[in-house]
């Protein structure tokens, strides 16, 4: 069937699987029906990792026609300095009443004044996510409209508890860090409808909160805790306030042996969590507790865990930690050390055990048997070598290289850079980003085949190393530009400002550059040189002081913007 013969309802369902930019650049000019359809449906704009050229053209040519239909908006300064302010310059203050979901990543101080004016106008906002550890969120929380807000992600609870005094209708809450006392005695009172709670770290607060009132979270169905810095008994007291909890994910508690005692968990679940049907955990203890961990692991294999609830566990050990975890392994990151072992594992399909791991650190041991490990969905791979050994076959047995998008070889063994790395580049069909030790650049430059592969596939390059500056002379700069002529994003350290100007002139596809360099004595002169390079381009530049003798230069470039 031809696509244009499908009814509008089916087309809209199909378009959900494409991002907004793909939709507009692929379908907007096909015919009047498509143009009308995509302009009159709810629009989800995600400006993360966007090229400056695409951003500028979209905002200037398409945004004015669709702004009344923007339902969801995600802005980020992470890889694009000044993106949030740049978007605000296109989007007028009276255009935000239709936005229902707003996410802001790497917010900066310069964005706050505009946000304080914009947020009160977002009267339809039901979802707000702030992922910016570098700023105080007080000024944001103080003006955040709460009338329709149901989903909220914030850094801490301090400002929220100050400015929100009346009960809200929030049902989903994500917090980076808070104290257990804030949860028990304050938060549950003002978020009585809470159904989903995700907290990265629960840690002790310097200011103690004492109260006789414990508010019950009777609607809470799902609880996720990344790190818990209180004893087990404190956790047990807290979950007495969550009688209808159905799903619990728990990881990385303090070194309290009660956390790895299955009897403690069994008693707690029977007494306070009788509605719990999903329990995922990763319980760690130091290697000094090895015998206790092994003993308790065997006690997780009784009828309560296996037959009644079907919660299966495995034991993971290395030189420093012992870990009992439910399968599949719950974390997205995993460090496969030289002495990491899966012990007493069950006969479960190995491809499912670590299916959630996306970031893998691989520390090769030539005597290790890797047959019990497989990571099918890794997208970011870090390789460490302590000796010059052949590791590729072992790596291929545990990782699907075709999924790899980022490769980190910053701790790669010097002197063995090329042969196996070329094979990785050949087989990693999605690879476009690499982190490398700048000292190893000379080894790379001496290998013509490796240079050709790097030039062909690498679009994002990170060679920043604290205290090490690139390029001893102009010949090295020229060689670098020839090898990496196709990169779009670059992060590095450079001693001489003139080398930066040379890079900007030679790297014609560069969209984003972050450079750490020694303090520039005459910034106005440097700005003038950059302006001369980009006299026909649209760009944003920022210089920030990192330390007394170190600064960070960021430039977001649109070389083709007219």
303: its two tokens: 């009828």
Facing residues of 352 across strands?
none
pLDDT at position 561: 42
Q: Following DSSP, what letter does each residue of 365-381 receive, concatenated?
A: -TT---TT--BTT--EE
Give the separation between CA 323 and CA 315, rounded to whole angstroms: 6
- CA gap 425, 177 in Å, rounded: 39
Q: What is the pLDDT of residue 495?
A: 81
- Kindly state the helix (H) or strand (E) to which residue 117 belongs, with its residue range: helix 112-118
The DSSP string of 479-525 is HHHHHTTT-SEEEEEBS-HHHHHHHHHH-TT--EEEEEEEPPS-HHH
Write out pLDDT tens, residues 66-122: 888 888 999 999 888 889 988 888 876 567 888 999 999 999 888 898 889 899 989
Beta bridge partners of 249: 224, 280
Return the number of other C-beta atoms located less than 10 Å from residue 402's C-beta.
10
| pLDDT given for residue 17 in this prediction | 63
- pLDDT tens, position by position, 18-36: 667 777 777 777 777 777 7
Closest CA to 223 of 253, 203, 208, 243: 243
Measured CA angle at 380 (ends 409, 79), to 5 deg? 90
Decide: 444 and 422 in contact? Cβ < 8 Å.
no
**Distance between CA 18 and CA 437 in Å, rounded?**
36
DSSP letters along 226-255, please? EEE-S-HHHHHHHHTT-TT--EEEEE-B-S
What pLDDT score was predicted for residue 562? Answer: 40
Vertex 223, ends 219 and 229: CA angle to 5°? 130
Q: Is the peptide bond before 182 cis (omega within 30 degrees of 0)?
A: no
- For 322, list phi and psi in degrees, rounded to 5: -125, 140
Which residues does the chain have with pLDDT short of 70? 1-4, 12-13, 15-19, 92-94, 206-213, 253, 287-288, 344-348, 386-388, 413-418, 536, 559-562
Sign of the CA dihedral with 67 first, then 73, 79, and 81 last: positive
* pLDDT at residue 309 in the model: 96
């Amino acid at each position: 069937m031809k696509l244009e013969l499908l009814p509008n309802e089916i087309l809209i369902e199909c378009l959900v699987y494409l991002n907004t930019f793909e939709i507009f650049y692929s379908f907007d000019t096909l015919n009047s029906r498509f143009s009308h359809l995509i302009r009159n449906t709810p629009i989800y704009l995600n400006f993360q990792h966007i090229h400056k050229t695409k951003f500028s053209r979209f905002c200037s040519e398409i945004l004015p026609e669709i702004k009344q239909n923007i339902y969801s908006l995600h802005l980020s300064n992470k890889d694009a300095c000044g993106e949030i302010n740049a978007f605000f310059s296109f989007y007028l203050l009276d255009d935000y009443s239709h936005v229902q979901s707003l996410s802001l990543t790497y917010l900066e101080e310069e964005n706050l004044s505009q946000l304080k004016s914009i947020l009160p106008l977002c009267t339809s906002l039901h979802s707000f996510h702030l992922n910016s550890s570098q700023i105080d969120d007080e000024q944001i929380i103080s003006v955040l409209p709460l009338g329709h807000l149901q989903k909220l992600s914030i850094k801490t609870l301090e400002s929220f508890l100050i400015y929100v005094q009346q009960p809200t209708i929030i049902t989903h809450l994500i917090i980076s860090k808070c104290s257990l006392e804030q949860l028990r005695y304050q938060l549950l009172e003002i978020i009585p409808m809470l159904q989903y709670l995700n907290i990265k770290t629960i840690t002790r607060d310097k200011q103690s909160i004492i109260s006789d009132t414990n508010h019950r979270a009777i609607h809470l169905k799902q609880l996720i805790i990344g790190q818990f810095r209180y004893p087990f008994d404190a956790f047990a007291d807290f979950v007495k306030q969550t009688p209808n909890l159905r799903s619990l994910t728990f990881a990385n508690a303090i070194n309290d042996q009660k956390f790895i005692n299955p009897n403690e968990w069994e008693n707690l679940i029977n007494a306070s969590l009788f509605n719990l049907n999903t329990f995922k955990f990763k319980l760690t203890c130091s290697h000094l507790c090895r015998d206790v961990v092994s003993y308790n692991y065997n006690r997780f294999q009784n009828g309560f865990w296996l037959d009644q609830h079907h919660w299966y566990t495995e034991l993971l050990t290395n030189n420093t930690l012992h870990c009992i975890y439910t399968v599949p392994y719950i974390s997205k990151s995993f460090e496969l050390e030289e002495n990491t072992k899966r012990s007493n594992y069950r006969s479960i399909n190995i491809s499912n055990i670590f299916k959630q791991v996306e970031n893998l650190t691989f520390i090769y041991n030539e005597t290790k048997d890797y047959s019990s490990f497989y990571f099918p969905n890794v997208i970011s791979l870090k390789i460490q070598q302590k000796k010059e050994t052949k590791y590729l076959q072992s790596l291929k047995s545990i990782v699907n290289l075709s999924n790899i998008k980022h490769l980190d070889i910053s701790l790669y063994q010097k002197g063995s850079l090329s042969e196996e790395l070329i094979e990785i580049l050949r087989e990693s069909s999605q690879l476009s980003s690499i982190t490398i030790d700048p000292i190893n650049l000379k080894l790379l430059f001496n290998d013509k085949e490796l240079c050709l592969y790097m030039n062909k596939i690498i679009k994002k390059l990170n060679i920043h190393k604290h205290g090490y500056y690139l390029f001893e002379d102009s010949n090295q700069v020229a060689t670098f530009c020839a090898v990496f002529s196709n990169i779009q994003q670059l992060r590095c350290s450079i001693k001489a400002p003139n080398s930066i100007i040379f890079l900007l002139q030679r790297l014609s596809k560069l969209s984003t550059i972050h450079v750490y360099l020694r303090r520039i004595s005459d910034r106005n002169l440097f700005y003038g040189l950059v302006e001369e390079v980009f006299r026909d381009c649209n760009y944003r530049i920022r210089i920030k002081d990192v330390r007394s003798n170190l600064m960070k230069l960021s430039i977001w470039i649109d070389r083709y913007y007219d």
